[in-house]
Amino acid sequence: MALQIGIVGMPNVGKSTLFNALTKAGVPAENYPFCTIDPNVGVVAVPDTRLQQLGHLIQPKTLTPAAIEFVDIAGLVKGASSGEGLGNQFLAHIRDVDAIIQVVRVFQDSNVASSLAEPDPLLEVEIVQTELLLADLQSVTKRIERTERLLKTGERKYKEELQQLEQALSVLNDGVPLRETSIELPRELPLLTQKPVLYIANVGEDDAAALSGATKVMLQPLQQWVDEHASTLIWLSAGIEAEIAELAPEDASQFQEELGLVEPGLHKVIRAGQELLRLITFYTVKGEETRAWNIPKGTKAPQAAGTIHSDMERGFIRAEVVPFHVLMDCATFARAREEGLLRSEGRDYVVNDGDVILFRFNV
């Protein structure tokens, strides 16, 4: 199953607009809360200059980028953990994703309804985090009750689990998300504050290329908070990004240049999404297709082969590996082999970002 990033936030902050820009899926982005009821899922290609360079070198018939799945989740409101605003349903959708992007509103627009009297990015972050903390407190409390009953079996693992759960309950009560701790909890317990989070400030169109003084002042408390919590904040104009996404490539480049944008803000979001999921990219160049593949950092060669096809993992023999920059210098796998630069790696090899790999396997 592909790793997913859920786009969350309060109503009318620009979540669906950002999702539309990322996926060109045409999801409704109307001016009222809960326009998005069921989560929309979109597969987004990862911008990759290395893949483009490999394409120029190898000239394959097909050039296929890696992809990330984004999920547009409806607005989360204060009280969601108690069922407000379809809260239970929305929290369940968040539980299903692997990481979270929270979009916060920084733009001023009297025509777009807001849950707050005035844009307050830090308050939005605090409201959403509080709801996720409260939901996790409920989940951990229920699990503690279950584990206490299972202690009667005398199995040591339940005593250790209870200690971990009580530790988690303590930090959650202190308002600390579990991702900021080293507490190990049962894998089958899907806690919301364990998930890594990226914050996106949706600024006005006038701030698309450079932040004004007023916008900088509004973002300063949030930036400080994000820095203290070892997270990342990206700013962009979702409206402008959606416009760019609808244009032909040549027109999009011209529009970006007119606005003073070095690259689409979406590219920053996608790259940050890869980092959020701790993904690296390897490449295959066999046959008529040159392709990029995303895998979690630390993946070994057989499991990397399994992302292509399960038969390749089961019948794995070895991986013939050459780093991207070495292949670019050598121009072909054959020359890399002749010069002794093509390595033969076994089952314990941990794939590196940028590896170009030819897998050998039994069918």
- pLDDT attached to residue 31: 43
The answer to whether residues 17 and 236 touch, using CB atoms and an 8 Å cutoff, is no
Quick check: 37 pLDDT over 50? no
Q: Across the beta sheet with 197-202, what order do the strands follow? A: 40-45, 67-72, 4-8, 99-105, 197-202, 232-236
Cα separations (Å) of 230 from 23, 179, 200, 276, 297?
A: 28, 10, 15, 12, 19
pLDDT mean over 262-273:
90
pLDDT mean over 157-173:
94
Decide the pairing of beta strands 316-323 and 343-345: antiparallel
- pLDDT attached to residue 182: 93
SS3 of residue 327 by DSSP: helix
Give the whole-angstrom CA distance, residue 330 versus residue 324: 10
The answer to whether residues 192 and 95 touch, using CB atoms and an 8 Å cutoff, is yes
Quick check: 1 pLDDT over 70? no
Which of 86-90, 219-223, 246-250 is the least confident region? Answer: 86-90
pLDDT in tens, 171-200: 999 999 999 999 999 888 889 999 999 999
- pLDDT attached to residue 114: 66
pLDDT mean over 80-87:
51
Domains assigned to the chain = 4-276 (3.40.50.300), 298-361 (3.10.20.30)
- pLDDT attached to residue 52: 94
* Highest-scoring range by mean pLDDT, 96-100, 155-159, 315-319, 333-337: 315-319
> Mean of the per-residue pLDDT values for the chain?
88
- pLDDT attached to residue 110: 66
Which of the two residues, 292 and 21, has the higher pLDDT score?
292
**At 166, is the pLDDT very low, low, confident or very high (cuts 50, 70, 90)?**
very high
DSSP strand E in 297-346: where?
316-323, 343-345
Residue % of the chain over a pLDDT of 90: 64
Give the whole-angstrom CA distance, residue 358 versus residue 343: 10
105 strand-pairing partners: 202
Instruction: Indicate the burial class of 237 (C-beta count within 10 angstroms; 0-12, 13-18, 19 or more).
Output: buried
Give the whole-angstrom CA distance, residue 77 versus residue 115: 8
Quick check: 75 pLDDT over 90? no
Q: Give the dihedral sign, CA 104/106/111/115.
A: positive
- pLDDT attached to residue 165: 95
Residue % of the chain over a pLDDT of 70: 90
pLDDT in tens, 269-321: 999 999 999 999 999 998 899 999 999 999 999 999 999 999 999 999 999 99
Q: Give the dihedral sign, CA 220/226/229/231.
A: negative
Quick check: 89 pLDDT over 70? no
pLDDT mean over 155-184:
93
Q: Give the dihedral sign, CA 37/41/47/50.
A: positive
Please state, as a whole number, how many other Cβ atoms lie within 10 Å of the Cβ of residue 145: 10
Q: Residues 182, 187, 189, 194: what is their CA dihedral angle, to the nearest 10 degrees? A: 40
SS3 of residue 291 by DSSP: strand
pLDDT mean over 63-69:
91
Give the whole-angstrom CA distance, residue 192 versus residue 177: 9
The answer to whether residues 312 and 301 touch, using CB atoms and an 8 Å cutoff, is no
Task: Give, as one character, the DSSP assignment of residue 352.
Answer: P
pLDDT mean over 152-177:
91
pLDDT mean over 153-179:
92
Closest to 84 in 3D by CA, of 11, 157, 150: 11
**Amino acid type, 270:** I
Instruction: Indicate the burial class of 59 (C-beta count within 10 angstroms; 0-12, 13-18, 19 or more).
Output: exposed
- pLDDT attached to residue 112: 67
Which of 3-12, 23-32, 337-346 is the least confident region? Answer: 23-32
